[in-house]
Amino acid sequence: MIWKFDKEYKWLSNFAPCTIVLNGIAYPSVEHAYMSAKSDDVRWYLKCTDENIKPGAIKKMSRKILLVSNWDSIKIEVMLECLNQKFNQEPYKTLLIETGDAYIQEGNFWGDTFGVSI
């Protein structure tokens, strides 16, 4: 069982560097791309493309933006798109395949109550 995305499994985190393209715009991580989709403000998209802003900082900044009206209905679809892109590129594709049939669960120590099983 993989229950925490750190040490040898840090690459599973949404904070791991990888190029994700949403609506024709490239982002430096899943977290950057996902947070960008919370708003329709072009300035926000551009901020989210900045690889010098750490994923955790983008996540924190996203708490202060005006959410798109349909966020609750699109957020899972957006995350699935981001994760599909990440795990269809190397080295993440091979690393994921190499986990075999291990159960993967993000160790949540920060109090996030949202969860989805796929």
Report pTM: 0.91
Closest CA to 81 of 39, 30, 118: 30
Q: Please state the length of the chain.
A: 118
Domain 7-97: assigned CATH number: 1.10.357.40
User: Mean pLDDT over residues 37-65, rounded?
Assistant: 96
Residue 98 carries which side chain, given as an amino acid letter?
E
For the ranges 13-17, 23-27, 41-45, 104-108, which has the lowest average pLDDT?
104-108
- Residues 40, 70 contacting (CB under 8 angstroms): no
Domain ranges of the chain: 7-97
